[in-house]
Chains A and B, each alone.
Chain A
Amino acid sequence: MTPPLPKGLRPRPARPGTKPARNGARANGATVTQDPKALKKARKQAQREAFKQQALDVPVAMLGWLDERTGSTPFLRAFLFRKVPAGTNWYYTLGSATLFAFVNQAVTGVFLAMYYDPSPTQAYGSVRHIINDVFLGEFVRGMHKWGATVMVVLIFLHMGRTFFFGAYKYPRELNWIIGVVLLILTMAMAFTGYLLPFDQRSFWATVVGVNINASGPILGPYLADFLRGGAEFGSTTLSRFYAIHMLLIPGLIAALIGAHLYLVSKLGTTAPPWLKAEQARELAEEEI
């Protein structure tokens, strides 16, 4: 069932005794007066009313045009004005906060890509260039760097909220699974992004990280070869990490966030565990 529109969005009924002020003068049904000054004033007022009405009609008409062609109103209404259980609190905003952190990473990442050069000889210099020379470069790069940490922290807090509130239970198991995949993908983002500044710390951290992958029996060395693009940390390693970091994983994350949100709006959120389900009055009395 579609929830009703909130009060502010409902069209107001016309005041009794007024007509819609569409046809210019005499809209408010005032008595006809012969005084030219009053007449002029009334006409001006009516014109203003008509103009206001027209201006208000524009967005309505535009939304109506879109709605007629997409039929999105019921979906948007159900998505934006859905009911939430009693006791919903600030902890329920952690998922949105994680989403915001992801959007921040996506936006700053797109702009960093304009100046970054993923070649082993140029990468370090291009990051120095972003920090030292580009207008607001230090800020945008800082947003990306610290935003990455914030996203990982938020994703764990969000996961903890889901776990401790029991929000992973039936029928929301699939959303928990999608969330775990998103967590793994975020970790892969953190791993591949760490190499990109190409300073000593990121280089050796990635060498260690790739060799941890190589420690898996039988398949581990092949996984390391895949990450490096060969047996040695070579000329294509950095561009591989860059492609995985900015093209492969963000697409997967965006698609899975879509599925995650769809399930949230479809299934709704859970009430906090400290709230007891309300009993019908008769039942409660019977038990007494």
Chain B
Amino acid sequence: MADSSKKKRSPYTKDRGTLGAFEGETITRRRFVTGGALAAGGVATAAVGLPALGFALGPIFEKTVHEGWQDVGPVADFNATGYVPKVITIVADIGEAGKTTIYVRKATAADRSPSDKPGHPPLPYVAISTRCAHLGCPVNYVPAAQRFICPCHGGVYDKQGKVVGGPPVRPLDRFYTRVVNGRVQVGQRFSVNSHLRRFSPRDPTNHLDGLWQYLYPSRPTT
């Protein structure tokens, strides 16, 4: 008994006594054709399914095309004490849905960021995004209180855009600024943490402080 179990099985189907076996075959024809049909079906399904899936998921991996630098007015329009609301275009050709309000003022020493490289001038103007860092509702600047206030869930930010109350997880996003020929221009969005350190744009709800920031890494679209 022990001998027979140890005996080496023959690679040929005929020697193994398989039904319908032919001389010299190591696999029955039925098995071969079944396997071939399954493989062909799998290849055909993948040939249609994978491109369709890639088509739907493609935008996750595409870099967002930005609108470039946008003029928001001459330098004389802005000062360091109060914000001036301006409308810029985030996405072109979709009408009002692609536009957003930003608040612009001149930068002060308090707006220095740990991301500023020594020897390089800091951003000349502060352009605050009105997209609330909680869930994306549009915040409103109340000059009397010097606070940004969100109408949806009660997020409150101070004049620098740092959270002073409510559910937001990080300060309000900002936009890069520069001055060309005496006119202020606004560029790409960036996110900041509570020390005003700059990060690539993140979605609202994404923390950028402490260990939390590693749960919300930068992604291909931004």
Contacts and interface: CB of A to CB of B under 8 A. Distances in A.
B93, B95, B203 — which one has the most chain A CB atoms within 10 A of its CB? B203
Given A214-B206, A215-B205, A208 B137 contact: yes
B123 interface: no
B90 interface: yes
Interface stretch (B23-31, B59-67, B141-149): B59-67
A203 B60 contact: no
B16 interface: no
B204 interface: yes
B112 interface: no
A109 interface: no
A232 B64 contact: yes
Interface stretch (A69-77, A168-176, A220-228, A258-266): A220-228
SS class, residues of chain B in contact with chain A: loop
A218 B217 contact: yes
Contact of A211 (B57, B62, B91, B204): B204
A231 B64 contact: yes
A208 B152 contact: yes
B110 interface: no
B97 interface: yes
B219 A221 contact: yes
B206 A233 contact: no
Contact of A221 (B90, B97, B202): B202
A234 B137 contact: no
Interface residues of B, number: 30
A231 B91 CA distance: 10
B74 interface: no
Interface size class of A (residues with CB under 8 A): 20 to 34
Contacts of B64: 230-232
B49 interface: no
A28 B84 CA distance: 101
A211 B205 contact: yes
Interface in A215-263: 215, 217-218, 220-222, 224-226, 228-236
B136 A207 contact: yes
A111 interface: no
Contact of B97 (A203, A214, A225, A229): A203
Contacts of B202: 221
A211 B136 CA distance: 7
Nearest to B62: A230
Nearest to B138: A204
Contacts of B216: 217-218, 220-221
A34 interface: no
Given A231-B64, A234-B98, A235-B91, A226 B135 contact: no
B215 interface: yes
A137 interface: no
| A204, A231, A233, A236 — most chain B CB neighbours (10 Å) | A231
Interface string A192-214: 00000010000110011011101
Nearest to A235: B94
A272 interface: no
Contacts of A31: none
A210 B137 CA distance: 12
Contacts of B201: 231
A120 B97 CA distance: 7
A214 B204 contact: yes
B94 A121 contact: yes
Nearest to A210: B136
Nearest to B205: A215
Contacts of A234: 91, 94, 98
Contacts of B204: 211, 214
Contacts of B138: 204
Interface of B: 56-57, 59-60, 62, 64, 90-91, 93-95, 97-98, 135-138, 152, 201-206, 215-217, 219, 221-222
Interface of A: 120-121, 198, 203-204, 207-208, 210-212, 214-215, 217-218, 220-222, 224-226, 228-236
What are the 4 closest A-B residue pairs judged by CB atoms, nearest first? A215-B205, A214-B203, A217-B215, A120-B94
